[in-house]
Amino acid sequence: MKEIKQQMIDRILKAFPDAKNTDYDGNRLDIAIKKESVPALLMHAKEEMGFRHLSHIAYIDWIEQGEFEIVYILWSPSDKLKLFIRTRIDRENPVMDNIDMIWRQANTYQREMREMLGIEFPGMVAPDEFILEDWDDIPPFRKDFNTLEYVNRTFWHRPGREDAQDVRETITKRSGEEIPDFAKKYSR
Amino acid sequence: MLTLILVIFLGGAILTWLGRKINPLLGDLLFLVSVILPATMFVMNIKVGDTIAQHTLLGIDLVWGLSPLAHLFSLVVVGLGVMLSIYSISYMRGKEKVGMYYFSFILSIMAMLGILVSRDWISFFIFWEIMTWSSYLMVILNGKKVQSIGIKYFVFSALGAYSMLMALVIINSQLGSFMLSDTFNNFQHLSPANQILIPVLLLVAFGVKSAVMPLHIWAPDAYSNSPMGYTAVFSGALSKMGVYGLVLVIISMTTQLPAGSLIRIIVAWLGGFTAAAATLWAITQDDGKKLLAWSSIGQLGYIVTGVAIGTPLAMLAAMFLVVVHALFKGSLFMAVGAIEKQTGTTDFKEVNGLIRKMPVTFISSLLSIIALAGIPPLAGFVSKWMLYEALIQNHNYLLVVLLFFASTAAFLYAYKFLHGYFLGQEEPEWAHVKEAPMSMTIPMLLLALTTFVLGTWPQLLFNSIDSAMQYLGYDATNGKLWTDSVLFSQWGDKVALQPVLYAIIAVFLFFAIFLYFKGRKATRYVTTKDISTSGEIPKEWENLTFKVNFMQPFERAIEPFLKRQIEKYYLGFGKGMEALFDFTRRIYTGNGQTYAIYAIVFLALLLIFRVSLFG
Amino acid sequence: MEHILIKILGAIATFILAFIVGMTYGGVVRKITARVHNRLGPPFYQNFIDALKLFSKKTAIHHGVMHFLGPAFLMVSSVVSLMFVPVLIPGGDSWYNSWFSNMIYDGDLIFLIYIMVFGSLGMALGAGQTGNPNSSIGITRGLSQMVGYEIPWVLALVSLMLMYKTTSIVDFINVQQETGTWLMFANPFAFIAGLFALMGMFHYSPFDIIGAPAELASGPVSENGGKFLFTMMSSGSVFSFVKLTLFVDIFMGGASNLVVLVIKTFTLYMIPVLYGIVSHRYRTEQAVTFFWKWPLFFGLLAVLYAVL
Amino acid sequence: MVGTPVLFIAIPLLAAFLIPLLGMIWKESVRIVPGLVLMYLMVLAVSLMGHVAHNGPIIEIIAGWAPPIGINLVFNAFTGFLVTLIIFMGLLVWLYSYRFKSNVEYEPARKYFILLMMLVTGSTGVVLTGDIFNLFVFIEITSISAYALTAFYTGRDSAEASFKYVMMGSLASTMLLIAIMLIYSQLGTLNMADVASKIHLMDPTLKAISFILFVVALGVEAEIFPLNGWAPDAYAEAPGPVGAAFAGIVVKAMLYALIRFTYTIFDLSGAFNLLIIIGLLTLVIAEVAAIRQDKLKRMLAYSSIGQMGLVMVAFGIGTREGVFAALFIMLNHAIIKPLLFFSGSYLVYHSKKKYISDIDGMGKLAPFTSLLFALGAFAIVGLPPFAGFWSKLSFLVAAADNDMVLIIALILAVSIVEIVYYMRVVNRIFFFKRTTGLLARRPTFNAYIVMSVLGIIVLMIGFFPDTVTGYIQAAADSLFDKTQYIHSVLTASIQ
Amino acid sequence: MYNDKNSQKIVDIIQNYARKHSLWVLAYGTGCGAIEIAPTMTSRYDAERLGIRGAATPRQADVLLITGYLTVKTVKRVVRVYEQMQDPKYVIGFGSCTINGGMYYDSYNTINLLDRYLPVDVYINGCMPRPEAVIQGFVKLQELISQGKANGAAKYKENLEWYKANQKKIAPKWFERAPEYNW
């Protein structure tokens, strides 16, 4: 396993000298790379190295650094290896290359990212809204989005909900029963 | 007079063609005149008679007269011809090759009348061929797949025509006369081999035109490829010429044969298979034209079965169906033509939801479809009922089941037809569609209403059929099988048509009033976009109509049948022949030395075989 | 004039009878189904309550004229075919016998078969105009299935026609009266084939893919609520009465009075119902090919038996 | 009477020699003189036909020697019919090719019309002569002018076609000469009537051999299978009107010779069967080959060969009706095939390779020519009410009277093949989209006239076949009446 | 509008009796609540004995049963389904999510109060309510029907503008596109 992993990493580093490797245990390879090289690396991984399956595209909002991180998670069925390809893009100008011609399913993840983080994918064919229909606020998965404020503004709360008390405590108050210890332990 | 009528047709055809070149309006006018004028003259002046006109060509007497049987068929031809000519004016407006269309239309009407008035085989054959090539011009008029469809049609027509030609020259050599009546009267004088050969040849000839099973493969494509205004004639009248011939052959020839009953049973079963198989094929079609084309083949199968069984009741049923089929199929083809005219397509997958846009077309289609399916208040039922009765009386029980299956399966394509065009979602794409012009809707509505009238008062037609059948040598059936719209079977059963009609109308009105007038006040029309689709609001461009793979479950069920197309075998045969031809062609190598060798070898062969040649 | 009036009143009485019997049977079936499921189930009059509720519901929308006429066509088919089926043995001795002799001498079996499918075409049209794809899918399934069961059904009938040289239902009853043998014993193969066809006609499981609620949203009726559904429901009830009565007339000797009629029809009705409760659902093509295997075989056997 | 039968040979021959001389004086005369000659001959033929109809056959004796020794010309209903046909065809070919593509210049026109005159001379000579050796001479005249006409477009392909023709033709001449020698050695006479009256004296083996040699020799020119290898090439490579002339003139003359040998001179019983066999072979193989052709003219050529096969089968029936049918087919073929060749060569006028696909969509560009072509196609496949139907009908009636059911079936099956390839072309003309950018060529005025005349005749025969059947009937009677022929020739005296 | 049993006419009593004993339920199975419908309908709890049965389409249904939280995306469809149902019609809110948002009370995409958007006749409390509770809810609805008090549809019609304003607040584009509801 280790040899194969090392071999893989060497191949990637050889093809993409600017890639940075982080070692992980198990069957995980982790490569960080510049935004521009991502499609090439993905193509390389798919066509040359047997990572035929795109499992997922994850995304992280690094608000402090002013960056979004996008993680492409690939799976090689032949070598049973996972490949994480990380890249970071500017938070102020969130544009990423569209890769749905490499994997069709990437389209779905990109649409999600478009709505949830507001990342643009030029050239992606997806006319419709995906999850958030009629959304006009800032994208909700950005860390500067204040959910509670939005909820208070948009929806209503039923009276009596404000205290957000533990149900068991309320029951205790009403009926005077003691709460068992194990219940206290797991209660909020 | 008869000659004059035919000459008017012929001259009218040419004049219309020329007139159309000069001025479209003049062409239209001439077209109407040269169909309606001689048609009217024909109906008014030509009475049933043996010899109305006589000519001699090449020492052969061409005798023209009108038998009662031909009179019945001529009613169909003239009626459909006039209706369709009115229809065609609007239908062909703005299309290409209108002059050619008019020309071929008039010529085929002339040829059909000519066939019917022919009392000798030569003029029969001449008009038959004129009919063939004028309809051939129609088949390829649209210019689609001319080489495959057109040639297929012509080859099969030629197969039929040449079978007929062969039969008639044999008849002439044996009997010394080309007259139809001599042929039938002196049929016993033929040699035994020819007594089998000639009916078989003629059955092939007429079987091609009436699209009996192994000879039918030209029909769906030819029907659907010709302009709709003509397809109605094609299916309604032209194919009936094949039936006319079949009637003559079967009744006048095979009845005189010991083996005749076998031939007739075979033909009857072929007709039954045609009906069933064509119905199944009709179900799988996604184009209205093709669907109706297959449906026509199926209906012709019923007619052929009825003719082949040949008992008085079967004959009555077949003749009735001849007329009724012309009516309802004419109306349906006109409806498809109207849809094609208004929307530009006939594909079920493209057009739908026209019911509110084209109500008259819908109503006439609905009536015709009900007649087609054989549901009681309309005329289709009468013929089907009589056919079943006849078959049961004749102890062809399995054939009854086969035809019953066909007619039940016909519901599938009947519904597919109505659903495909008229029902389903109303599309914004077709929002601009308007009802077809009056000159198109009125003929089709008239034909459809006629089926309604004939369904309740079939005796209007029975008398005419009766005289035709007496001509064929049947006893007068009048009174035995029906009285005043009551059909009697010989097992003492009956169907009273008028009470049925009244019952249906009464109940229908009651519930229609109940639902409609009670509901109307509180009820509001909503568009077909407003349907319960899991709360989704369909977008404008979304078409929710179920139309792709419409009959897929059924198609899956009949898949083993669909795999075996007769056409494939023909194609294989054609390919094999082409290969053989190509091989033969290589005899001509283009090499002079080879040719010289051929000459020497030929000489040598002749010299070697001279004894066997010259003794 | 008086004669016609009596006829009309008799027709109304027949209709009411058919309605009540059909509805009650429907309710009883629900009850029986529930008991088989080890449930209490609704009361046997539940269908009447449902019908009343549907009737009292408002019908706020429609999708066009055919949407109105579809249920009407269905009802016409049911009622008119009811008029041609002898409910009781004609000329029987019970005092109400003459009420139910509507038009039974005016149509034969072939006529009846055709008028019976008239309704499904009408309903198909009504369902088609709603524009709901589920309706159309249900309709195609239903029509396909109809083609399937029609063959054994016609084979069974033809074999009987062959045996007794008649196409009249009344004559079939008379034959059974005279010989004292029910035709289900005289030609058991025809009965079996007919029974299969009957199961198909009732659209109970395993042949209930037409209106499969989970996938098709009840198929052809999915756009019909309120009065539309009421009409369809009642015509369906009447129609099941027609089918059962016809079957009883042909194969089980008819009924001399209403009690016998109810017993015979109910017994017959239980066969598809009980079979349906315990069986899975066929896909359409499976159903069609099913009808073209054993039922077809039995039908052919019936004809063979009749010939011999 | 305007003249005597010898003028049919003499005048065109004279014209052929005079044309270059006159051409030196007035260049246009090379075009006009042949026309005048042919017109005169047409008038002569018609008047002689009228004469024959009333007064019986005309036997013209050349050079004052009585028939068994000298050469005589026979103008009876049969030969007169053929001569009229040949002259008529010559006239049409002349009119059509008055200013045809390559005749515009003086020099080729001069050659062309000389050769045409020679062709007419030879053909009329073949038909009219009553002497076997004289027949050989006229056949040679015809053939040689035909070789030259084949090579008229001095190209590689034309030369090749012509060479093939020459090769086959010389083979045929040799055999013909051998056959003539055999007859002369046995009977000591070469006068046809004389030979016919003495043929029973001949040794049966030698008789059969000489007949076979005649069949093979004449078969080359009459395009019977398998001797017709040259024909498609020649038809395709020769100018359009020449193809028509071959179909309308040469083949007719050669077929006449074959028939004359079969019917009048030889008394072999199996000869008719031989005719039927080779006729059927020719028909089937030619039609089958025609369906696979991709060049228009070649297709027409094969069709032409097939028609000749049909004529031969009709002659082979051996009854009066059969001969009638054969002559009727010949007549129709002589009218329809030129119509097809003429209109067809205008349809592919600008095309280099003359492929059938080059005429796609011509119906729009050249409606009149296309219509005439379609008319010709409809007529030749025997669709009523056009001319071809009646001849086919009379043939079938004749065949059926002799119980040739299988032959009828075969011929009708072949007719379906014929329909397929003609309809393919007609469909292409009218219902295909124009694929190549080639333009249509407007027919010249005289070509218009020729084609219209032919078209009108096709329609006329189609609607009123009785206008021509009288002549054909007389011709058939005259061919069939062998004794009368012998008698009239042998008793002819110098007038 | 709020007529009690005494002011009902005889026709109303009969109709209400029929309506009460024939509740055709369109179960809008959002969230986790749909799992409770199956036991409610099947052998153990057998809701059919009360005349309750499933309806396949909104056109045939009497009761709209909403079984859990509604996101903005689903609430649009629910409103649409409700409007497609024919009068008389009832809504049952099922589980605490429909009452006050439940555990999703602070989600940006989940509505908290169903009754701001649809007229709820009966709420069934619990997370999840057991089948007994569900049946009790239905019985309560039946009571309301027989008393003539289950007239949420009338309420919706009366306060249509208010409801529409609330609906448009969360999904403006959609509700502008939706067919007008005026019956």
With cut-offs at 50, 70 and 90, classify the pLDDT of residue D468: confident
Between CA B265 and CA B207 the distance in angstroms is: 14
Residue A187, pLDDT > 60, answer no
- Predicted confidence (pLDDT) per residue in C108-167, tens digit: 788 888 888 887 888 888 888 888 888 888 888 888 888 888 888 888 888 888 888 888
The overall average pLDDT reported for chain D is 82
Q: Quick one: closest CA in C to E12, which residue?
A: C56
Mutation for testing the A interface, residue in E69, E76, E108 having most A CBs under 10 Å: E108
The residue to which tokens 């026109």 are assigned: D109
CB burial of residue D28 (10 Å; 0-12, 13-18, 19+):
exposed
Domain that holds residue A181: 157-188
Query: Are A133 and A101 members of one domain?
Result: yes
Helices (H), D151-203: 156-187, 192-198
Q: Is the CB of residue A170 less than 8 Å from the CB of residue A185?
A: no
Per the structure, the count of domains in chain C is 1
The overall average pLDDT reported for chain B is 84
pLDDT at C48: 92
**Phi-psi region at D63: left, alpha or beta (left = phi > 0; alpha = psi -120 to 50):** left
Q: What is chain E's percent helix, strand, coil content, to nearest 5?
A: 50, 15, 35
* Cα atoms in the Cβ-side hemisphere of radius 13 Å centred on D276: 20
Is any Cβ of chain A less than 8 angstroms from the Cβ of E73? yes
* Cα atoms in the Cβ-side hemisphere of radius 13 Å centred on E5: 8
For residue C206, whether the previous peptide bond is cis, meaning omega lies within 30 degrees of 0, is: yes
Contact E80 B535 (CB under 8 A): yes
**A108 sits in which H/E element:** helix A106-116
- Look at residue B466 and give its three-state secondary structure: helix
Q: Is the CB of residue D79 less than 8 Å from the CB of residue D123?
A: no
Straight-line distance from the first to the last Cα atom of chain D, in angstroms, rounded to the nearest whole number: 15
Over residues B62-68, mean pLDDT:
86
Query: Are B555 and B608 members of one domain?
Result: no
Query: Are A104 and A138 members of one domain?
Result: yes
pLDDT at B474: 80
**Residue A7 domain-assigned (yes or no):** yes
- Predicted confidence (pLDDT) per residue in A118-142, tens digit: 888 888 887 778 888 778 888 888 8
Rounded alpha-carbon distances, angstroms, from residue E153 to D148, E82, E83, E136, E171? 104, 9, 9, 21, 22
ipTM strictly over 0.95?
Answer: no
- Look at residue B348 and give its three-state secondary structure: coil
Angle between helix B218-225 and helix B288-309 axes, rounded to 10 deg: 130
The overall average pLDDT reported for chain C is 84
Residue E2, pLDDT > 50, answer no
Chain E closest-CA separation from residue A151 CA (Å): 5
Residue among B409, B522, B557 whose CB faces C289 most closely: B557
Over residues B273-289, mean pLDDT:
89
CB atoms within 10 A of CB E164: 17
- Predicted confidence (pLDDT) per residue in D5-50, tens digit: 788 888 888 888 888 788 778 877 777 888 888 888 888 888 888 8
Between CA B384 and CA B375 the distance in angstroms is: 9
With cut-offs at 50, 70 and 90, classify the pLDDT of residue C24: very high
- Look at residue B40 and give its three-state secondary structure: helix
Rounded alpha-carbon distances, angstroms, from residue D37 to D34, D42, D149? 5, 9, 20
More confident residue, B50 or D309: D309
Between CA E169 and CA E171 the distance in angstroms is: 6
Helices (H), chain C: 2-36, 46-56, 65-84, 109-129, 133-164, 169-179, 183-186, 188-202, 213-216, 226-251, 258-277, 284-291, 294-307
Tell me, what amino acid is at B53? Answer: A
More confident residue, D408 or D355: D408
Between CA C54 and CA C75 the distance in angstroms is: 16
End residue of a domain, out of B548, B564, B580: B564
**B56 sits in which H/E element:** strand B49-57
- Look at residue B95 and give its three-state secondary structure: coil
Helices (H), B142-236: 151-175, 180-185, 192-209, 218-225, 228-233
With cut-offs at 50, 70 and 90, classify the pLDDT of residue E183: low
**D383 sits in which H/E element:** none
Residue ranges per domain, chain D?
269-463
CB atoms within 10 A of CB B484: 9
**Residue B169 domain-assigned (yes or no):** no
Q: What angle do CA D395, D399, D403 make, to 5 degrees?
A: 165
Count how many pairs of residues, chain B against chain E, have C-beta atoms within 8 Å. 28
Contact C111 B376 (CB under 8 A): yes
Over residues B302-307, mean pLDDT:
90
CB under 8 Å to E141, separation ≥6 — which residues? E23, E63, E90, E92, E121, E122, E150
Over residues C96-108, mean pLDDT:
74
Residues of D in contact with B610 (CB under 8 A): 205, 208-209, 212
Rounded alpha-carbon distances, angstroms, from residue C40 to C23, E48, E50, E135, E140? 19, 8, 10, 15, 21
- Look at residue B182 and give its three-state secondary structure: helix
Residue D1, pLDDT > 60, answer no
Q: Is the CB of residue A54 less than 8 Å from the CB of residue A74?
A: yes
Q: Which fold has domain E24-175?
A: Rossmann fold (3.40.50)
**Residue A152 domain-assigned (yes or no):** no
Contact D/E (≥3 CB pairs under 8 Å): no
pLDDT at B491: 66
Residues of D in contact with B594 (CB under 8 A): 229
Contact B411 C147 (CB under 8 A): yes
Residue among B141, B590, B610 whose CB faces D212 most closely: B610
What global pTM score does this model have? 0.88
Query: Are B288 and B407 members of one domain?
Result: yes
Residue A100, pLDDT > 90, answer no
pLDDT at D102: 58
Query: What does DSSP say about strands B524-525 and C61-62: parallel, antiparallel, or unpaired?
Result: parallel
| Percent of chain B whose pLDDT exceeds 70 | 96
In this structure, what token pair is assigned to residue A9?
A: 């990493």
Per the structure, the count of domains in chain B is 2
**Phi-psi region at B221: left, alpha or beta (left = phi > 0; alpha = psi -120 to 50):** alpha
Residue B479, pLDDT > 60, answer no
Residues of E in contact with C53 (CB under 8 A): 15, 18-19, 21-22, 62
pLDDT at E1: 41
pLDDT at A183: 61
Residue A162, pLDDT > 70, answer no
- Predicted confidence (pLDDT) per residue in C208-240, tens digit: 777 776 677 777 888 888 888 888 888 889 988
Smallest Cα–Cα separation from A5: which of A37, A46, A49?
Answer: A49
**B488 sits in which H/E element:** strand B486-488
- Predicted confidence (pLDDT) per residue in A20-44, tens digit: 888 888 888 898 999 888 988 898 8
pLDDT at A73: 93
**Residue B49 domain-assigned (yes or no):** no
- E 67-126: CB under 8 A from B: 76-81, 84
Domain that holds residue B481: 259-564
Q: Quick one: closest CA in B to E182, which residue?
A: B524
Contact E111 A155 (CB under 8 A): yes
Query: Are A11 and A41 members of one domain?
Result: yes
Residue B295, pLDDT > 80, answer yes
More confident residue, D105 or D281: D281
Between CA B535 and CA B533 the distance in angstroms is: 5
pLDDT at A188: 47
- Predicted confidence (pLDDT) per residue in E141-154, tens digit: 999 988 888 888 88
Residues of E in contact with A145 (CB under 8 A): 108
Rounded alpha-carbon distances, angstroms, from residue B264 to B181, B191, B211, B251? 21, 20, 16, 10
A76-85, B497-506, D43-52, D146-155: segment of lowest average pLDDT: B497-506
- Predicted confidence (pLDDT) per residue in C233-262, tens digit: 888 899 889 989 988 888 888 888 888 888
With cut-offs at 50, 70 and 90, classify the pLDDT of residue A70: very high
Contact B512 C72 (CB under 8 A): yes
In this structure, what token pair is assigned to residue B90?
A: 């609007």
With cut-offs at 50, 70 and 90, classify the pLDDT of residue A58: very high
Residues of B in contact with D409 (CB under 8 A): 166
Between CA B2 and CA B17 the distance in angstroms is: 23
Q: What is chain A's percent helix, strand, coil content, to nearest 5?
A: 30, 20, 45
Helices (H), B559-591: 559-563, 566-585
**Residue A49 domain-assigned (yes or no):** yes
Residues of E in contact with A133 (CB under 8 A): 72-73, 76, 171, 173-174
A32-46, B509-523, B530-544, C72-86: segment of lowest average pLDDT: B509-523
Between CA C266 and CA C247 the distance in angstroms is: 12
Range list of β-strands (E), A24-170: 28-32, 53-62, 67-76, 81-90
Residue B513, pLDDT > 80, answer no
Q: Which residues in C224-247 are b (16+ Cβ under 10 Å) and which e? A: bbbbbbbbbbbbbbbbbbbbbbbb
Contact C124 B419 (CB under 8 A): yes
Contact C37 E19 (CB under 8 A): no
- Look at residue C80 and give its three-state secondary structure: helix
Range list of β-strands (E), chain A: 20-22, 28-32, 53-62, 67-76, 81-90
Over residues D226-252, mean pLDDT:
80
pLDDT at B490: 65
Mutation for testing the B interface, residue in E77, E85, E91, E176 having most B CBs under 10 Å: E77
CB under 8 Å to D357, separation ≥6 — which residues? D294, D428, D435
Query: Are A133 and A176 members of one domain?
Result: no
Between CA B532 and CA B113 the distance in angstroms is: 56
CB atoms within 10 A of CB B604: 12
CB atoms within 10 A of CB B591: 11
Over residues A88-117, mean pLDDT:
89
Query: Are A37 and A118 members of one domain?
Result: yes
Chain C closest-CA separation from residue B234 CA (Å): 28
- Predicted confidence (pLDDT) per residue in D196-230, tens digit: 888 888 888 888 888 888 888 888 888 887 788 88
- The CATH number that applies at residue A104 is 3.30.460.80
